[in-house]
Protein backbone atom coordinates (compact mmCIF):
# COMPACT_ATOMS: atom_id res chain seq x y z
CA UNK A 1 0.00 0.00 0.00
CA UNK A 2 1.25 3.48 -0.80
CA UNK A 3 1.20 6.40 1.62
CA UNK A 4 -1.69 7.80 -0.40
CA UNK A 5 -3.69 4.59 0.08
CA UNK A 6 -3.04 3.32 3.61
CA UNK A 7 -4.24 -0.13 4.61
CA UNK A 8 -7.77 -0.07 6.03
CA UNK A 9 -8.09 -0.27 9.80
CA UNK A 10 -9.25 -3.70 10.99
CA UNK A 11 -12.42 -3.37 13.03
CA UNK A 12 -12.55 -5.10 16.40
CA UNK A 13 -14.81 -8.15 16.33
CA UNK A 14 -16.43 -10.67 18.64
CA UNK A 15 -13.36 -12.98 18.85
CA UNK A 16 -11.21 -9.98 19.85
CA UNK A 17 -13.61 -9.08 22.66
CA UNK A 18 -13.86 -12.66 23.92
CA UNK A 19 -10.06 -12.94 23.95
CA UNK A 20 -9.81 -10.05 26.42
CA UNK A 21 -11.34 -12.10 29.25
CA UNK A 22 -8.99 -11.73 32.22
CA UNK A 23 -6.57 -9.62 30.17
CA UNK A 24 -6.22 -5.95 29.31
CA UNK A 25 -9.48 -4.25 30.36
CA UNK A 26 -11.93 -3.34 27.62
CA UNK A 27 -12.53 0.40 27.14
CA UNK A 28 -16.14 1.13 26.23
CA UNK A 29 -18.24 4.29 25.93
CA UNK A 30 -21.63 5.23 24.51
CA UNK A 31 -21.92 7.07 21.20
CA UNK A 32 -24.97 8.45 19.44
CA UNK A 33 -23.63 10.50 16.49
CA UNK A 34 -20.86 10.48 13.89
CA UNK A 35 -18.65 13.33 15.22
CA UNK A 36 -18.55 11.87 18.73
CA UNK A 37 -17.91 8.37 17.41
CA UNK A 38 -14.99 9.71 15.37
CA UNK A 39 -13.44 11.24 18.50
CA UNK A 40 -13.93 8.14 20.64
CA UNK A 41 -12.98 5.53 18.04
CA UNK A 42 -9.16 5.61 18.44
CA UNK A 43 -9.40 5.08 22.19
CA UNK A 44 -12.27 2.59 22.62
CA UNK A 45 -12.70 -1.11 22.01
CA UNK A 46 -16.51 -0.92 22.01
CA UNK A 47 -18.89 1.93 21.19
CA UNK A 48 -22.39 1.25 22.47
CA UNK A 49 -25.30 2.96 20.78
CA UNK A 50 -27.28 2.81 24.00
CA UNK A 51 -30.98 3.37 24.42
CA UNK A 52 -29.78 5.97 26.92
CA UNK A 53 -29.93 8.16 23.79
CA UNK A 54 -33.56 8.70 24.69
CA UNK A 55 -32.61 10.46 27.91
CA UNK A 56 -29.31 12.17 27.11
CA UNK A 57 -30.09 13.29 23.54
CA UNK A 58 -33.88 13.37 23.21
CA UNK A 59 -34.72 14.54 26.74
CA UNK A 60 -37.03 11.63 27.56
CA UNK A 61 -37.65 10.71 31.22
CA UNK A 62 -36.44 7.12 30.75
CA UNK A 63 -35.55 4.64 28.01
CA UNK A 64 -39.03 3.13 27.61
CA UNK A 65 -40.22 5.41 24.74
CA UNK A 66 -37.13 4.75 22.60
CA UNK A 67 -38.06 3.11 19.28
CA UNK A 68 -36.31 0.72 16.93
CA UNK A 69 -36.20 3.43 14.26
CA UNK A 70 -34.41 5.78 16.69
CA UNK A 71 -31.80 3.14 17.49
CA UNK A 72 -31.20 2.41 13.81
CA UNK A 73 -30.85 6.10 12.95
CA UNK A 74 -28.26 6.66 15.68
CA UNK A 75 -26.53 3.37 14.87
CA UNK A 76 -26.09 4.46 11.27
CA UNK A 77 -24.57 7.75 12.41
CA UNK A 78 -22.10 6.06 14.75
CA UNK A 79 -21.02 3.61 12.07
CA UNK A 80 -20.19 6.55 9.80
CA UNK A 81 -17.89 7.95 12.46
CA UNK A 82 -16.21 4.78 13.75
CA UNK A 83 -13.83 2.60 11.76
CA UNK A 84 -11.96 0.66 14.45
CA UNK A 85 -14.15 0.05 17.52
CA UNK A 86 -16.83 -2.61 17.64
CA UNK A 87 -20.24 -0.93 17.42
CA UNK A 88 -23.06 -2.50 19.46
CA UNK A 89 -26.66 -1.28 19.23
CA UNK A 90 -29.18 -1.60 22.06
CA UNK A 91 -32.44 -3.34 21.29
CA UNK A 92 -35.11 -1.03 22.76
CA UNK A 93 -37.96 -1.96 25.09
CA UNK A 94 -40.64 -3.97 23.29
CA UNK A 95 -38.44 -5.04 20.38
CA UNK A 96 -37.39 -8.51 21.66
CA UNK A 97 -39.49 -9.60 24.66
CA UNK A 98 -42.50 -11.13 22.83
CA UNK A 99 -40.68 -14.06 21.27
CA UNK A 100 -37.30 -15.20 19.96
CA UNK A 101 -38.69 -14.79 16.45
CA UNK A 102 -39.59 -11.14 17.11
CA UNK A 103 -36.12 -10.57 18.55
CA UNK A 104 -34.44 -12.12 15.51
CA UNK A 105 -36.41 -10.07 12.99
CA UNK A 106 -35.61 -6.82 14.81
CA UNK A 107 -31.97 -7.74 15.50
CA UNK A 108 -31.49 -8.67 11.84
CA UNK A 109 -32.95 -5.32 10.83
CA UNK A 110 -30.57 -3.46 13.15
CA UNK A 111 -27.50 -5.27 11.83
CA UNK A 112 -28.60 -5.02 8.20
CA UNK A 113 -29.53 -1.33 8.25
CA UNK A 114 -26.69 -0.04 10.45
CA UNK A 115 -23.76 -2.34 9.67
CA UNK A 116 -23.10 -2.67 13.42
CA UNK A 117 -21.34 -5.77 14.75
CA UNK A 118 -23.72 -6.80 17.55
CA UNK A 119 -26.87 -6.05 19.51
CA UNK A 120 -27.38 -5.74 23.26
CA UNK A 121 -30.34 -7.11 25.23
CA UNK A 122 -31.26 -6.48 28.85
CA UNK A 123 -31.10 -9.99 30.22
CA UNK A 124 -33.50 -11.37 32.76
CA UNK A 125 -33.28 -15.16 33.02
CA UNK A 126 -36.33 -15.43 30.77
CA UNK A 127 -34.33 -13.88 27.90
CA UNK A 128 -31.71 -16.66 27.85
CA UNK A 129 -33.66 -18.70 25.28
CA UNK A 130 -33.88 -15.62 23.07
CA UNK A 131 -30.14 -15.01 23.34
CA UNK A 132 -29.48 -18.61 22.34
CA UNK A 133 -31.93 -18.33 19.42
CA UNK A 134 -30.16 -15.22 18.13
CA UNK A 135 -26.64 -16.59 18.60
CA UNK A 136 -27.56 -19.85 16.82
CA UNK A 137 -28.68 -17.73 13.86
CA UNK A 138 -25.52 -15.67 13.63
CA UNK A 139 -26.49 -12.62 15.69
CA UNK A 140 -23.75 -11.63 18.18
CA UNK A 141 -25.39 -10.68 21.50
CA UNK A 142 -24.07 -8.60 24.38
CA UNK A 143 -26.09 -9.22 27.54
CA UNK A 144 -26.94 -6.74 30.33
CA UNK A 145 -27.58 -7.77 33.95
CA UNK A 146 -28.05 -6.09 37.31
CA UNK A 147 -29.72 -2.69 37.13
CA UNK A 148 -31.78 -2.88 33.94
CA UNK A 149 -33.07 0.57 32.87
CA UNK A 150 -35.86 -0.92 30.76
CA UNK A 151 -37.27 -2.46 33.96
CA UNK A 152 -37.24 0.86 35.83
CA UNK A 153 -41.02 1.24 35.77
CA UNK A 154 -41.57 -2.19 37.30
CA UNK A 155 -38.79 -1.75 39.87
CA UNK A 156 -39.64 1.78 40.97
CA UNK A 157 -36.71 3.60 39.41
CA UNK A 158 -32.99 3.16 38.89
CA UNK A 159 -31.81 1.25 41.97
CA UNK A 160 -28.56 -0.60 42.62
CA UNK A 161 -28.86 -4.39 42.78
CA UNK A 162 -27.23 -7.17 44.74
CA UNK A 163 -27.50 -5.72 48.24
CA UNK A 164 -29.66 -8.58 49.50
CA UNK A 165 -29.10 -12.33 49.19
CA UNK A 166 -32.17 -12.72 46.97
CA UNK A 167 -30.95 -9.99 44.62
CA UNK A 168 -27.45 -11.43 44.52
CA UNK A 169 -28.79 -14.82 43.53
CA UNK A 170 -31.01 -13.28 40.85
CA UNK A 171 -28.17 -11.28 39.27
CA UNK A 172 -25.83 -14.28 39.33
CA UNK A 173 -28.52 -16.44 37.72
CA UNK A 174 -29.09 -13.79 35.02
CA UNK A 175 -25.38 -13.70 34.23
CA UNK A 176 -24.95 -17.46 34.19
CA UNK A 177 -27.99 -17.90 31.95
CA UNK A 178 -26.78 -15.26 29.47
CA UNK A 179 -23.29 -16.77 29.49
CA UNK A 180 -24.57 -20.30 28.89
CA UNK A 181 -26.80 -19.01 26.08
CA UNK A 182 -23.79 -17.69 24.18
CA UNK A 183 -23.58 -13.94 24.95
CA UNK A 184 -20.08 -12.82 23.94
CA UNK A 185 -19.93 -10.14 26.68
CA UNK A 186 -22.05 -9.07 29.63
CA UNK A 187 -22.66 -5.52 30.85
CA UNK A 188 -22.94 -5.50 34.67
CA UNK A 189 -24.70 -2.35 35.84
CA UNK A 190 -25.31 -0.93 39.29
CA UNK A 191 -24.45 -3.92 41.47
CA UNK A 192 -22.54 -4.35 44.72
CA UNK A 193 -18.79 -4.35 44.11
CA UNK A 194 -18.11 -7.80 45.54
CA UNK A 195 -20.98 -9.28 43.54
CA UNK A 196 -19.57 -7.87 40.30
CA UNK A 197 -16.18 -9.36 41.14
CA UNK A 198 -17.74 -12.74 41.95
CA UNK A 199 -19.83 -12.68 38.80
CA UNK A 200 -16.78 -11.89 36.66
CA UNK A 201 -15.10 -14.98 38.06
CA UNK A 202 -17.92 -17.39 37.27
CA UNK A 203 -18.80 -16.50 33.67
CA UNK A 204 -16.69 -17.22 30.60
CA UNK A 205 -17.77 -14.05 28.80
CA UNK A 206 -15.94 -10.78 29.53
CA UNK A 207 -17.85 -8.52 31.91
CA UNK A 208 -18.15 -4.78 31.32
CA UNK A 209 -18.89 -2.82 34.46
CA UNK A 210 -20.87 0.37 34.95
CA UNK A 211 -21.32 1.17 38.61
CA UNK A 212 -19.88 -2.25 39.40
CA UNK A 213 -16.23 -3.16 40.09
CA UNK A 214 -12.72 -2.55 38.79
CA UNK A 215 -12.48 -6.36 38.75
CA UNK A 216 -14.73 -6.47 35.69
CA UNK A 217 -13.05 -7.23 32.37
CA UNK A 218 -13.86 -3.74 31.11
CA UNK A 219 -15.72 -0.53 31.89
CA UNK A 220 -18.35 1.58 30.18
CA UNK A 221 -19.84 5.00 30.93
CA UNK A 222 -22.41 7.21 29.27
CA UNK A 223 -20.14 9.64 27.41
CA UNK A 224 -22.04 12.89 28.18
CA UNK A 225 -21.90 11.93 31.88
CA UNK A 226 -18.13 11.45 31.98
CA UNK A 227 -17.60 14.63 29.96
CA UNK A 228 -19.59 16.66 32.50
CA UNK A 229 -22.39 17.85 30.21
CA UNK A 230 -25.09 17.64 32.88
CA UNK A 231 -25.65 19.22 36.28
CA UNK A 232 -26.10 15.79 37.89
CA UNK A 233 -24.38 12.49 37.26
CA UNK A 234 -24.75 9.11 39.00
CA UNK A 235 -22.45 8.36 41.91
CA UNK A 236 -20.47 5.80 39.91
CA UNK A 237 -19.47 8.32 37.23
CA UNK A 238 -16.08 10.03 37.32
CA UNK A 239 -16.20 13.35 35.47
CA UNK A 240 -13.18 13.66 33.23
CA UNK A 241 -14.09 17.12 31.93
CA UNK A 242 -16.49 20.03 32.48
CA UNK A 243 -17.88 20.46 28.99
CA UNK A 244 -21.04 22.01 30.39
CA UNK A 245 -19.03 24.85 31.89
CA UNK A 246 -16.84 25.22 28.81
CA UNK A 247 -19.89 25.29 26.54
CA UNK A 248 -21.67 27.87 28.67
CA UNK A 249 -18.55 30.07 28.69
CA UNK A 250 -18.17 29.76 24.91
CA UNK A 251 -21.82 30.56 24.21
CA UNK A 252 -21.73 33.56 26.56
CA UNK A 253 -18.60 34.88 24.82
CA UNK A 254 -20.29 34.45 21.43
CA UNK A 255 -23.46 36.19 22.60
CA UNK A 256 -21.41 39.08 24.03
CA UNK A 257 -19.51 39.46 20.75
CA UNK A 258 -22.68 39.44 18.66
CA UNK A 259 -24.38 42.05 20.82
CA UNK A 260 -21.28 44.26 20.74
CA UNK A 261 -20.91 43.77 16.97
CA UNK A 262 -17.44 42.26 17.46
CA UNK A 263 -18.56 39.16 15.54
CA UNK A 264 -18.21 38.67 12.67
CA UNK A 265 -14.87 40.41 12.49
CA UNK A 266 -12.45 40.95 9.60
CA UNK A 267 -11.34 37.30 9.62
CA UNK A 268 -14.87 35.93 9.35
CA UNK A 269 -16.24 37.87 6.34
CA UNK A 270 -15.75 37.63 2.58
CA UNK A 271 -14.59 40.49 0.37
CA UNK A 272 -14.86 41.10 -3.35
CA UNK A 273 -11.59 40.46 -5.17
CA UNK A 274 -11.06 43.29 -7.62
CA UNK A 275 -9.00 42.86 -10.75
| Residues making up the binding site for 3-methyl-2-oxobutanoate | 51-52, 90, 120
Backbone angles phi, psi at 144, to 5 degrees: -150, 115
- Three-state SS at 142: strand
Residue 160, Cβ density class (10 Å: 0-12 exposed, 13-18 middle, ≥19 buried): middle
What does the alpha-carbon distance between residue 90 and residue 123 come to, in Å, rounded to a whole number?
Answer: 12
In a 13 Å sphere around the CA of 151, the CA atoms on its Cβ side amount to 15
**3-state SS class at 171:** helix
Residue 39, judged by CB atoms within 10 A of its CB (0-12, 13-18, 19+), counts as middle
Q: Looking at 155, 165, 167, 189, which residue is catalytic?
A: 189
Looking at residue 42, the DSSP 8-state letter turns out to be: T
Could you check whether the bond before residue 264 is cis, i.e. omega within 30 degrees of 0?
yes
CB 186 within 8 A of CB 205: yes
Q: Is 189 a catalytic residue?
A: yes
Instruction: Pick out the residues of the known binding site.
Output: 51-52, 90, 120, 122
Contacts of 113 (CB under 8 A, 6+ apart): 72, 75, 76
Nearest-angstrom CA–CA distance, 220 and 208: 6
Give the three-state DSSP class for 27.
Answer: strand
Which amino acids are annotated as binding site for Mg(2+), given as ranges? 51, 90, 122
Give CA–CA dist 148/155, Å, rounded: 9
Catalytic residues: 189
Amino acid sequence: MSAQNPAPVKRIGVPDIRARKGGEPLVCLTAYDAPTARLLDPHCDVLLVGDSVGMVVHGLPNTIPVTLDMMILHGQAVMRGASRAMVVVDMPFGSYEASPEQAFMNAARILRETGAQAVKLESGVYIADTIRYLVDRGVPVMAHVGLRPQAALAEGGFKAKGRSEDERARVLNEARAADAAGAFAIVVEGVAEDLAAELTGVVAAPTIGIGASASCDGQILVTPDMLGLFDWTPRFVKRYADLKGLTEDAVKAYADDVRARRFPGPDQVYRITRA
